[in-house]
Chains A and B, each alone.
Chain A
Amino acid sequence: MDNYIFQGKDIVKKFGNYIALDNVNISVPKGSIFGLLGPNGAGKTTLMRIINQITAPDSGTLIFDGSKLERKHISKIGYLPEERGLYKKMKVGEQVLYLAQLKGMSYIDALNKSKYWFEKLNIINWWDKKIESLSKGMAQKIQFIVTVVHEPILLIFDEPFSGFDPINASIIRQEILELSKKGTTIIFSTHRMESVEEICNHIALINNSKTILQGSIQNIKEKYTKNDYEIMVKKGDLKNNESFTVKNKEKNKYLISIHQEEKYKSILSNILQENEIVAFNKKYPTVEEIFINAVKNE
């Protein structure tokens, strides 16, 4: 129980006749970087809003850090919504202080922490500028600070990298990884599978208002693997035979599908008799492939 920062059981949320979440179960392990995946309209945003207590579910249990999710917990959660923005006419520093205090920080704490983050991201000279005078990417940095300034133990990012240029995106990614190392649990939803692959260690896949897949990336990949191996040989020519099929060929790099998993040793020795193997490794499906497969099979 205590290994999870957030657990939702049988969450149901309806808007009129529309069912946004249909008995969704989700467990977010402490300290994990948790990717929340799913096509548009699957219910990801609704789920994130429920964790943030912006909306309440019609039924279901919500456990935060071992106890029932309550109003007081919002100071321990940081949320970067997909639809984000700041007061355009307000000065940057004032705005960060205001939003930090709304999260329950004292003025002094808020001031110290904001200054810390402004210095860390090297933007202390923006303190007295108005948001409307900043570029979109600059505003996103401020938005990031607003999300993390109150030192939450759970951070929720909805599409965190949209709107960032590659340089700033990598700065933010570094900050997220650093926070994760310090023990903050991070949930983030994104469509960009390569970033999931890069930084997530757990994922949940939501489709049509239901969770259809969840667990650690490694376990899920094991589950979805199809006895595909990548093999690189010195001289050419591997042909289909009774023990494997060649799926793809690129120069001397082959993708083969072994019919019976346990026979790979004998296959290898067979090949070795006539050829020299440079590389041989199991080919796991990418998250993207799993995602597309799982959604199709629904």
Chain B
Amino acid sequence: MNKIWLIIKREYLVRVRKKSFLVMTILGPLLLASIMIIPTYLANQNQEKRIIAISYENSDITNQLIDSEYINFSFVPKLEAENLKTDFFDSKFYALLECNNDTFFLTSNQQISINVKSEIESQLAKILEHHKLKEAGIDLKVLENAKTTIKLSTKIINEKGMSSNSKTEIIMGIGFVSGVLVYMFIFMYGTMVMRGVIEEKTNRVIEVIISSVKPFQLMIGKIFGVALVGLTQFILWIILTIIISSLAEVLFLNNNFNSDLNAQQSSVILSEISNINQYLNLEAIFFSFLFYFIVGYLMYSALFSSIGSAVDAEADTQQFILPITIPLIISFILIQPIMENPDGPLAFWMSMIPFTSPIIMMVRIPFGVNSWEIICSMIILIFSFIFFTWIASKIYRVGILMYGKKATFKDLYKWINYKE
């Protein structure tokens, strides 16, 4: 036990001290924060008003165009409109709108922004629509009254018979994010374990070490050491993301936001968040996330380490890695369909199969899954973890001492059956 602890310590410290760990730890949250902030930031930057020139001639339709938040329409004589086409740079105009029967042209000396284009399109469409309705003798007021909006509010009845508001979007968000995080964690750190095993083999340090400790101790020590690296990075990411995004919000956004709207929006968001607890069991989600996050990783990394032991170089891992990564990739692809039907048979079976359950179950849990299903899936996962670690350690102890010959699946099977 003492020796496993030494190994865990070394595996952990070596990786945490690397520059790449530091870089990833800082870049990760920056990336995440920028994904969240940049779109809002950019959307709030385009406040500059654009003036669109309209030639007088086409006034019967175009004069119904209404100035919007960022577009002003301005009518110009035909001659000036013609001049504009050759000389946009000195004018105050952004673009020129022309109309020829039902065909419209928007001319500019620069790429026309998608916002401007779609705003004009939708206004024109509305105007033409009204014209046609009038011609057909339909009273616009009647039509206006006939328009109905429905807001469907969904409720869930829980076991105690209490109903609560459900917020499908938030549930989907939580399910998606936790599923993707489990996927990323298994992939990144599973392959990190594999590279560590290959490194020891190519360095030839392996035989020195297993003359001191059992191969199994080394394998377990490495897996847990890397798991701690992953957890450390994950926790640092969360902390840094919170710090960076709140800093960024204070620095960039508040100045630009329409303050009334912002206050209103954020109060809505805040009340939503405080309400989550009423319809989601956050503690249970968090606990099961940690469980699938860790046990799923442990099972996969045992398999990854046995692959690492069977090859001489990372380039040779392809043939063995494929069968392991396929279930991971399939679960990743199926996240979307599972979210649309979280209680279907596909969702059920994929959350029982240990290779897919860590991801799929995490996607489903926020939607509410029977506790027996969760317990069953967890038990299967634990037993598969033990089973595959046992198998992997048998491949590992033989593989690490094999050099030169390229192993096949048949070889791996033989190694499993070797006596110690």
Q: Which residues of A contact B (CB under 8 A)?
A: 15-16, 49, 52-56, 58, 74, 77, 79, 81, 83-90, 98-99, 101-104, 143, 146
> CB distance A86 to B205 under 8 Å?
yes
Please, what's the 1-or-0 string for B398-420, where 1 marks a CB less than 8 Å from any CB in chain A?
00010100000000001000111
Task: Give chain B interface residues in 180-224, CB to chain A under 8 Å.
Answer: 199-200, 203-205, 207-213
A84 CA / B418 CA spacing, docked (Å): 24
> CB distance A83 to B204 under 8 Å?
yes
B6 part of interface (Cβ distance < 8 Å): yes
From A16, A58, A87, contact of B414 by CB (8 A): A16
**A102: chain B residues within 8 A (beta carbon):** 3, 6-7, 209, 212-213
> CB distance B205 to A54 under 8 Å?
no
> CB distance A146 to B208 under 8 Å?
yes
B14 part of interface (Cβ distance < 8 Å): yes
> CB distance B401 to A54 under 8 Å?
yes
A83 CA / B212 CA spacing, docked (Å): 16
A79 CA / B206 CA spacing, docked (Å): 12
> CB distance A81 to B420 under 8 Å?
no
Chain B interface category by residue count? 20 to 34
**B209: chain A residues within 8 A (beta carbon):** 99, 102
B85 part of interface (Cβ distance < 8 Å): no
> CB distance B10 to A98 under 8 Å?
yes
Q: Which residues of B contact A (CB under 8 A)?
A: 3, 6-7, 10, 14, 199-200, 203-205, 207-213, 401, 403, 414, 418-420
A77 CA / B207 CA spacing, docked (Å): 14
A38 CA / B3 CA spacing, docked (Å): 35
Inter-chain CB contacts under 8 Å: number: 63
Q: How far is the CB of B399 from chain A (nearest CB, A)?
A: 13
> CB distance B14 to A56 under 8 Å?
no
> CB distance B10 to A79 under 8 Å?
no
Q: How far is the CB of B213 from chain A (nearest CB, A)?
A: 6
Q: How far is the CB of A57 from chain B (nearest CB, A)?
A: 9
A54 CA / B397 CA spacing, docked (Å): 9
**B14: chain A residues within 8 A (beta carbon):** 87, 89-90
Can you list 24 residue pairs at the A/B interface with Cβ under 8 Å? Answer: A15-B418, A52-B211, A53-B211, A54-B210, A54-B401, A56-B419, A77-B211, A81-B208, A83-B204, A83-B207, A84-B204, A84-B207, A85-B204, A85-B208, A87-B14, A89-B14, A90-B14, A99-B208, A99-B209, A102-B6, A102-B7, A102-B213, A104-B212, A146-B208
A52 CA / B14 CA spacing, docked (Å): 27
Q: How far is the CB of A152 from chain B (nearest CB, A)?
A: 10
Q: How far is the CB of A157 from chain B (nearest CB, A)?
A: 12
> CB distance B205 to A87 under 8 Å?
yes
Known: A15-B418, A86-B208. 19 other contacts (CB 8 A): A54-B211, A54-B401, A55-B401, A56-B419, A56-B420, A74-B211, A77-B211, A79-B207, A81-B204, A81-B208, A85-B208, A86-B203, A86-B205, A87-B199, A87-B200, A99-B212, A104-B212, A143-B208, A146-B208
**A101: chain B residues within 8 A (beta carbon):** 6
- Given A16-B414, A83-B403, A102-B6, A58 and B419 touching (CB < 8 A)? yes
- Given A55-B420, A56-B419, A79 and B208 touching (CB < 8 A)? yes
A52 CA / B211 CA spacing, docked (Å): 6
Output the nearest chain B residue to A51 by Cβ-Cβ distance: B211
> CB distance A84 to B401 under 8 Å?
no
10 closest pairs, A vs B, by CB?
A85-B204, A102-B212, A81-B207, A79-B211, A85-B203, A52-B211, A83-B204, A85-B205, A56-B420, A103-B212
A146 CA / B209 CA spacing, docked (Å): 10
> CB distance B208 to A88 under 8 Å?
no
**A90: chain B residues within 8 A (beta carbon):** 14
Q: How far is the CB of A151 from chain B (nearest CB, A)?
A: 14
- Give the most central of A53, A79, A102, A103: most B CB within 10 Å: A102
**A146: chain B residues within 8 A (beta carbon):** 208
**A58: chain B residues within 8 A (beta carbon):** 419
**A104: chain B residues within 8 A (beta carbon):** 212
Q: How far is the CB of A295 from chain B (nearest CB, A)?
A: 24
**B401: chain A residues within 8 A (beta carbon):** 49, 54-55
- Give the most central of B6, B212, B401, B419: most A CB within 10 Å: B212
A204 CA / B53 CA spacing, docked (Å): 102
A294 CA / B386 CA spacing, docked (Å): 51
A272 CA / B203 CA spacing, docked (Å): 65
A39 CA / B212 CA spacing, docked (Å): 27
A104 CA / B403 CA spacing, docked (Å): 28
- Given A56-B420, A83-B403, A89-B14, A74 and B204 touching (CB < 8 A)? no
A54 CA / B401 CA spacing, docked (Å): 10
- Give the most central of B7, B14, B205, B211: most A CB within 10 Å: B211
